[in-house]
Structure 1
Amino acid sequence: MATLVLPVANRSVRMAIIQWWCRRLLRCFNITLTTSGTVPGKDTHGVLFVANHISWVDIHSINSLLPVRFVAKLEVRNWPVFGYLVRKSGTIFINRTRQRDAARVVQLASNALKLRDNLCVFPEGTTTEGDQVLPFKSSLIQAAIDANTIVIPVAICYAQPDGSINHAAAYAGETTMIESMLAFIHMRAPTVHLHFCQPIIARELSRQALAELAHAEITSVLYKSPAQYQQAVA
């Protein structure tokens, strides 16, 4: 259905279809989504979400709760199965091999936020195995300052029932998309958890300070004591 309707649908219908599709996708892979913090409601508009990045599931998990446009690396356009949906969802693609491309993307992202689109960036610039959060690059976060909006950090984790990290969920290193998809199919009750941190007013900070604060918020959620961590993802 999505491939037939998306090309001709208006923005609101397109985003509703994407949300439906992402929820269905999580069910197809038997992925349980849990949340904590204040989950944004339907009246959330023009917000920049900033998240750590572990898997292709990150995008679909966030979109299943609230339709969001993403800034993603150029290669995502050609992902099997998911590339089409990512393109049709209004994703802004960045060519990380071109140093000057960031300025173009910041302008596009700022304009999208001013038009009240929700946007999400992964400022680590790559995926990890979930056992660390790399330093955040601040360039794309400038869009929130230019648009005079708020930033909501999102801590993403994939955990085993005992609270330990589910490394098999990571789409990192030399893992291919097909290998990652098969890994989820063979997992027993995979779970992704999203914690929505408190909003940060972008105009009150420099982009570097904003990146550091978002990073600190996310790591404070992910790297508590084992007992607290297990409670956070339960």
Structure 2
Amino acid sequence: MPQSPCGASCVTGGDFRRVTVFGVALRVIAALTVLLSGLLVVAAKPVLRGNTRHAVRRWFACLVRAFGVRIELHGDPKFQATPGRGVLVVSNHVSWLDSLVLDAVQPMAMVAKSDIKGWPVLGGLISAAGSVFIDRERLTRLPETVSDLTAALRAGLAIGANPEGTTWCGISSGRFRPALFQSALDAGVPVRPVALRYRVADGTTARPAAFVGPEDLVTSMRRALRLRGLVVEVHVLPEIAPGRAENRRDLAGLAEAAVSEALGTTVALHKELDLQRA
């Protein structure tokens, strides 16, 4: 399994502005209110029909805002350049907020860890979106997962995936693993790279928002909720058209290079952090 070197030293400390305890409480109350309203969205899905996608997008946007996060969109506002044509959306993986932010831009089925299905309310909404779940302890089922993704892409769905296979702190990122890219090749659909950057108002990378290492979800959420002025930049990059890569490894390399170039400041930030620790 892919492993990230990021841990507690990456996400703790730093001169970040924090909200008060009262402010955190307000965010928790707001988020719980939105989460509970999600039950209504799930229940109303048969009635909403064609408006379901819009309702779900608005719900995710409200949830992200309740957490005190602002989304800053760069590039195409839609992941699918051609409506009804499948697309594999791949992004760097930083936080538990990643999928919420992406769904606030355009709801889509996600490739997610199997334990997400057990998350209260949110797990139900992610499941209802047609997401494909991976049991990382049983990678022998990966070919079956790729087959399921291929079928979904051929059916015209947008599928989101984090090909790094694990989370990173936002200062550095991991290699894009090629396995899931086979589904785009088999389905003959484009790949849409998306770069996610977490920052605060002065432009500093918001390392405390990352969900890394062995920590539990509650610990990571508590730390992120205390951040003031958290912004997630969503850079929707040009599609990689079918035929540009001969195999999944080359396709993964093209997507990885696009995301790395969009983030741009990785090496400089690494040097800056090393100097601060010296």
TM-score by length of 2: 0.75
1:191 is displaced (CA, Å) by 0.7
In angstroms, what is the RMSD of aligned CA positions?
A: 2.1
The aligned residue for residue 232 of structure 1 is none
Match of 1:39 in 2: 77
Contact 1:149 1:203 in 2 (8 A): no
Percent of paired sites with the same residue: 30
Change (3 A) 1:214 1:106: same
Q: Evaluate the alpha carbon distance shift between residue 34 and residue 144 of structure 1 in structure 2; reply closer, same or farther with a 3 A threshold.
A: same
Partners of 1:6 and 1:220 in 2: how far apart? 38
Count of residues in Structure 1 that have an aligned counterpart in Structure 2: 227
8 Å contact kept, 2:79–2:192: no
Q: Are positions 1:2 and 2:43 aligned together?
A: no
How far has the Cα of 1:111 moved from its partner?
Answer: 0.9
Measured against aligned partners, the alpha-carbon deviations of 1:142-172 in whole angstroms (never above 9, x if no partner) come to 1111111100100111012332211110011
Give the AA of the match of 2:172: Q
One-letter code aligned to 1:47: V
Match of 2:235, SS? strand
CA contact (8 A) 1:154 1:196 kept: yes
CA deviation digits over 1:107-157, x for unaligned, max 9?
111111111111111001111111111011111111111111100100111
Whether the 8 Å CA contact 1:30–1:190 is kept in 2: the answer is yes
Aligned counterpart, 2:207 = 167
Distance 1:83 1:62, change over 3 A: same
User: Alpha carbons of 1:128 and 1:63: their partners in 2 closer, same or farther (altered >3 Å)?
Assistant: same
Compute the displacement of 1:9 (Å). 2.2
What secondary structure sits across from 1:200 in the alignment?
coil
Q: 2:258 aligns with which of 204, 217, 220?
A: 217
**Residue type of the partner of 1:103?**
P
- Could you tell me which residue of structure 2 aligns to residue 193 of structure 1? 233
The letter for the 1-side match of 2:259 is: I
Matches within 5 A, 1:1-234: 1-7=37-43, 9-10=45-46, 12-40=50-78, 44-45=83-84, 46-205=86-245, 206-224=247-265
CA deviation map 1:31-78 (0-9, x unaligned): 100021223277544111110111111111111111111001112112
Structure 1: unaligned runs, 5 residues or longer: 228-234
CA displacement at 1:226 relative to structure 2: 6.5
Q: What SS does the aligned partner of 1:100 have?
A: helix
Mean Cα displacement is larger for which, 155-164 or 123-132? 155-164
Following the alignment from structure 1 to structure 2, what is the Cα–Cα distance between the partners of residues 173 and 94? 19
TM-score, normalised to structure 1's length?
0.89
In 2, distance between residues paired with 1:130 and 1:13? 35
CA distance in 2, matches of 1:129, 1:19: 26
1:180–1:93 Cα change, 3 Å: same
- Distance in 2 of aligned mates of 1:86 and 1:41: 18
CA distance in 2, matches of 1:102, 1:203: 24
Q: C-alpha distance in 2, partners of 1:202/1:101?
A: 26
Give the CA deviation at 1:85.
1.9
CA distance in 1, matches of 2:137, 2:160: 21
